[in-house]
Structure 1
């Protein structure tokens, strides 16, 4: 796979109470990914870019909601979420905070 494609697959980490609970209990990282990304592509992106071993990848497609602005109707974009289960002992730190 072309390495430039790998950098476009992972869009952003999703940090919520639910994702933090899942991450602590099951060693799972939750990220927003490209809508056309496949599970093998997501796994390859994590392993090559972030340098971690991936156990499994589960994905969910979300349909954009219809919203009203004044008299006009608009539609939010469709997007995809991935739950990436890491091998035991592997961690990913998207924040990169360091204790001083």
Structure 2
């Protein structure tokens, strides 16, 4: 198994993920390509000192984009949606 900091690349902060954080206590992370649910669960528990209830993983395929005459693709991303039990919280923003 890789180190926990190698598995969790960054939290994904969008309007949709913020709504999921507030209502469902779910947090979304970009994770390493070869990681599985067990590794993600262990990494989140180790780094943030919380208990993880459920992990869902999805692969976002690259999309074709064009700017003028130049064409290319966006990068592929592997996301993990981590559900925490009631009463537990991860503070991603320092107050």
Q: Tell me the TM-score normalized by structure 2.
A: 0.88
Aligned to 1:37: 35
Q: Deviations over 1:39-87 (max 9, x none)?
A: 1110000011111100000111001112234434322221111110012
Residues 35 and 78 in structure 1, CA contact (< 8 A), matched pair in contact too = no
Partner of 1:85: 83
- For structure 2, the 5+ residue unaligned runs are none
Equivalent positions of 1:1-100 (< 5 A) are 1-2=1-2, 5-97=3-95
Gaps of at least 5 residues in structure 1 are: none
For 1:21 and 1:73, the matched residues in 2 are separated by 33
Matched length: 95
Give, in angstroms, the shift of residue 95 of structure 1.
1.5
